[in-house]
């Protein structure tokens, strides 16, 4: 005996037409057949297999429309009607929406899950993954980043050749005393209009701007402390970690909120995103500690880094310029006084 449902009363919208008729639908699950007929004349309006139909999402107070392959649709008159074998996930969402307290709880759990992923799980995974990424990838990332920065922001350095030679000499001595392979590190000089800055790229390139060299001109040993901080970023592979964090976080949000195509664009454009990435505060603290510890190892005072930070702070007075705020060397860093207090005594 066939499992034929009682006629379901509703409205039928014809394919490629605005015409809507009052209709009834009979569903035979055993034969997987649907017959839609006119409510008054019983004339057949649609005949199709049930499994080939699609259903709208289930929302409180909104009938679940059944769509046919040719574009026609049937909408039950009863807003609480549920189609047999409809999606369990859709039913669960419908249940949450009707039970708003449970819905709020689910939202809270989702926020907690996302917070845990973004604050704990993803940063931990980024450290592990970054440690095993081949050096060739780091080199490619660094080269692309410098190329983009040159195109978008940097100009050729205007420093005196003697000044550049002195800074380069100090840099070479620094690498030698730290026993770091000089072929893995390069110092680059650039000019730009947004003030004193230094940045580390994934391949070991450290860029210093003319204005930061000029700021430290009378105390170039203080610039060494800033360079140690940037070397700390390279040694901890912070650039890679930042890219991994940003990419995984974006993909996670895209999966949860349904924008998979957008996530793909972000993954493909991760190299371009390097230009706008800033290191997290914990990464900055790690780089600070690297600078403090290695200053002591080469018989220098940890005060050098503290003094360099104070000089940088003085170079960035409070301003309403949004552009300058965006690229302020101290903008994404922890509070400068906290950083100075964190130095070993």
List, for residues 86-115, the tens digit of each pLDDT value. 655 455 555 655 666 666 777 889 889 888
**Residue at which a domain ends, from 52, 69, 86:** 69
pTM: 0.63
Q: What is the pLDDT of residue 58?
A: 72
34 and 179 belong to one structural domain = no
Q: What is the pLDDT of residue 265?
A: 52
Strands across the sheet containing 33-38: 44-49, 33-38, 20-28, 8-13, 73-76, 66-67, 54-55
304 and 159 belong to one structural domain = yes
Q: What is the pLDDT of residue 269?
A: 47
* Residues of the chain predicted below pLDDT 70: 1-4, 60, 86-103, 257-279, 317-335, 344-345
Q: What is the pLDDT of residue 331?
A: 52
Backbone angles phi, psi at 173, to 5 degrees: -65, -40
**Residue at which a domain ends, from 18, 49, 69:** 69
45 and 143 belong to one structural domain = no
Residue 1 within a domain:
no
Q: What is the pLDDT of residue 230?
A: 96
Residue 14 domain boundaries: 8-69
Q: What is the pLDDT of residue 274?
A: 43
Q: What is the pLDDT of residue 98?
A: 61
Residue from 12, 285, 264, 312 nearest 123 by CA: 285
Q: What is the pLDDT of residue 85?
A: 75
Q: What is the pLDDT of residue 323?
A: 47
Instruction: Give the pairing of strands 44-49 and 155-156.
Output: unpaired
């Amino acid at each position: 005996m066939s499992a034929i449902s009682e006629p379901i009363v509703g409205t039928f919208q014809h394919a490629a037409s605005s015409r809507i008729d009052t209709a009834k639908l009979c569903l035979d699950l055993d034969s997987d057949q649907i017959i839609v007929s006119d409510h008054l004349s019983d004339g057949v309006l649609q005949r199709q297999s049930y499994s080939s139909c699609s259903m709208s999402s289930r929302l409180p107070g909104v009938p679940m429309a059944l769509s046919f392959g040719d574009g026609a649709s049937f909408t039950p008159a009863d807003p609480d009607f549920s189609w047999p074998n409809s999606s369990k996930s859709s039913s669960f969402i419908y249940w949450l929406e009707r039970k708003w307290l449970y819905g709020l709880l689910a939202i809270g759990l989702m926020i907690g899950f996302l917070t845990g992923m973004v604050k704990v799980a993803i940063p931990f995974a980024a450290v592990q993954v970054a440690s095993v990424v081949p050096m060739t990838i780091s080199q490619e990332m660094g080269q692309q980043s410098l190329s983009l920065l040159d195109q978008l922001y940097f100009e050729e350095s205007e420093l005196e050749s003697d000044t550049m030679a002195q800074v380069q000499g100090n840099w070479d001595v620094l690498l030698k005393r730290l026993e770091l392979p000089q072929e893995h590190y390069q110092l680059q000089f650039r000019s730009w209009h947004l003030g004193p800055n230094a940045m580390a790229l994934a391949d070991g390139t450290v860029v210093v701007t003319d204005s930061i060299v000029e700021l430290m001109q009378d105390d170039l040993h203080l610039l060494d402390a800033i360079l140690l901080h940037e070397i700390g970023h390279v040694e901890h592979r912070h650039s890679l970690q930042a890219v991994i964090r940003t990419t995984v976080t974006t993909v996670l949000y895209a999966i949860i909120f349904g924008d998979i195509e957008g996530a793909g664009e972000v993954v493909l454009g991760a190299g371009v995103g390097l230009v706008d990435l800033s290191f997290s505060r914990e990464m900055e603290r790690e780089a600070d500690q690297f600078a403090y510890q290695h200053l002591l190892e080469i018989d220098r005072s940890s005060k050098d880094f503290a003094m360099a930070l104070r000089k940088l702070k003085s170079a960035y007075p409070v301003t309403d310029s949004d552009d300058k705020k965006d690229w302020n060397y101290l903008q994404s860093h922890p509070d400068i006084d906290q950083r100075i207090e964190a130095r070993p005594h």
